[in-house]
Each structure stands twice: as structure tokens, then as C-alpha cells.
Structure 1
Amino acid sequence: MGGEVWASVLSLTGVLLGGGLTAFAQHATQRSAERAEEARQVVATAESRRAEQLEALKEFIAKAQMAERAAYSRPEEWGDDEDWTTQAGAAMTALWTASGNVMLLCDEALHEPVRVYGHALNQAVWRNIGDTEVNEHLEAGKSAFMAAARSTLGSH
């Protein structure tokens, strides 16, 4: 009878050990799947954030182009063209809104270049640039912004 007890104990030990190993393997597999899902979520969030940033930059560039067009089309005699004044005001409002989106969504390295370029555009539109040509006045600010945008986008 002693042999039967040992056989039962060994059988029970085998069942317990097998069950424990199965539970451990299931837990390890589940944890691995959870880590993989967390990693996928991090990647998805980063991709979504980058898309938002890219969209904000594209919008800013489009609004900057509107402001440039307004600066180039400004009538020589101030106050002679109400339509131009209305359009220029709308272009600058859109630019400031777009610049706020860049400030909110994009890397801090873009904040100063966006501010400087926006200020230069504002000066060009309202002709606070003296005898300087519009493109000459905008060149440094525009170049600095584009370089910072490229650098920021390349770092992701």
C-alpha cells in the first residue's frame, strides 16, 4: 500500500506541477501580448500626434502664403482699397490663428521662428518695412522657419 500512496503523491505532484507551469506560461503569454499592445498604442499615438503637427505646419504655411499675397498686392496709396484691407485683415487673422496651432501642437523649437516669421509678414502686409522689398524683408524669417520645421519633422 505504501507504493500506491507514493504513486498517488507523485501523480498529484505531476498534475500540480503541470498545472502551475501551464498557468505560468499563460500568464507570461498574456503579459507579452499586453506589452505588445502597449507598444502598438505608443506608436499609434506618436503617429497621430505627428499627423496633427504636420497639418498645423501645412496650415501655417498656407496662411503665410495668403499674407504674402496680401503684402505683394497692397495698393500704393494707403486706404484706397477697402476690399484689400478687408482681405489683408482676414489673411492676418488666419495667420495668427494658424501660428497659435503651431505653438500649441508643435515642438518648442518652432515657437520663435513662427513668431518671427509671423511678425515679418505682419510688417510686410501693413508696409512697416520702409523701402525694403517684401521678399527681402521676409527672406530671413521664412528661411529660419522652414529650417526649424524641417529639423523638427526630421527628428521624429
Structure 2
Amino acid sequence: MAADLWTSVVSLAGVALGGGLTALAQRATQRSVERVEERRRAAATTESRRAEQIEVLKEFVTCAQAAERAAYRRPDPWGDDEDGWITQTGPVMTALWTASGNVTLLCDEALREPVRTYGHALNAAVWRDIGDVEVNEHLEEAKTAFMNAARASLAGA
């Protein structure tokens, strides 16, 4: 009888130990799966944000190029097409300022000043607040600073 009791106790202890080890293994596996899933979600979020940043940067560059084209097309004051040019250029500049706001909102803080500076340089070129300086010469420094900052921002993302 004592042997039967001892066998039962050992069996019960074996079952309890096995159950405990199984529970520990399941918990460790679950935690590992949760960590992997969290890393996957973080990577997906990072990639999604980077794609969004690329899109707003592309939009800004497109709008900047349209503003630059408008600056080159500007007629002489009191020229034949000045009214038509102003009508066409207003929406171009509105799109530029909207795109610059998107960059400021969605991209790295380091892009705020280069975007603002480049936008103001484009605005001055479009409205000919640049004196006798050529459009490309006036824009070169601000454009290069923006492009370098955008490139660095994307490389760090």
C-alpha cells in the first residue's frame, strides 16, 4: 500500500512537473511570437511612413519644378500675356505652398528650414523679386540645400 501511495505521489509530481514545464514552454513561445509580431508591425509602420514621406517629397519637387517653369515663363511687366500668366501661376504657387506644408508635417524636422527657404526662393523668382540675378542662379543654393537635406532624411529613415 505504501508503494502504491509512493507511486501515485511520484506520478502526480511527474504530471505536475510536466504540466508546469509545458505551460512555461507555451508562455515562452507566445512571448517570442508576440515580440516577432511587434517587430514586424514596427517595420511595416516605418516602411509605410517612409513611403508616405517619399510621396510628399516627390509632390513638393514636382510643384517646385512647376514654379521654376513659371519663373522662366514670366513675361516682361505689362507684356501681352501678363494677365494669363498670373492666372496660370496662382494655382502653381498654391500647390507649392500646400506641398511644402505636407513636407513640414510628415517629414523629418531637419527638412523644415530647407523647404521654407527653397519655397521662398521660388516665390521670389516667380514674382521677380530677384533683381537682375538669373532664375537658376538665384535658386541654386536653396535647391541644393533642400535636395541634400531630403536625401539625408530619407537615408536616415
Q: Which residue of 2 aligns with 1:88?
A: 89
Amino acid at match of 1:124: A
Partner AA of 1:67 in structure 2: A
1-structure distance, mates of 2:91, 2:78: 17
Equivalent position of 2:73 in the other structure? 73
Using the TM superposition, name which of 84-93 and 66-75 deviates more: 84-93
- How far is the alpha carbon of 1:155 from its aligned partner? 1.1
- 2:44 maps to 44
Q: Specify the SS of the correspondent of 1:128.
A: coil
Q: What is the aligned residue count? A: 156
Partner of 2:9, secondary structure, is helix
SS at match of 1:129: coil
Residue matched to 2:140: 139
Corresponding position of 2:57: 57
Q: CA deviation at 1:77?
A: 2.1
Letter in 2 for 1:83: G
Q: Which residue of the partner structure matches residue 19 of structure 1?
A: 19
| TM-score normalized with structure 1 length | 0.97
Matching residue's letter, 2:121: A
For 2:2, the aligned partner's letter is: G
Matches of 1:141 and 1:87, distance apart in 2:
24
- Following TM superposition, where does structure 1 have runs of at least 4 consecutive aligned residues deviating by more than 3 angstroms? none
Identity rate of aligned residues, in percent? 70
Q: What is the CA–CA distance in structure 1 between the aligned matches of 2:137 and 2:44, rounded to whole Å?
A: 42
Structure 1's unaligned 5+ residue stretches are none
Between the aligned partners of 1:53 and 1:40, the Cα distance in structure 2 is 20
Matched residues in 1 for 2:37 and 2:62: separation? 37
Partner of 1:108: 109
CA displacement 1:10-51 (0-9 Å, x = unmatched): 000000100111111111111110110000000000000000
Q: Is it true that 1:8 corresponds to 2:8 in the alignment?
A: yes
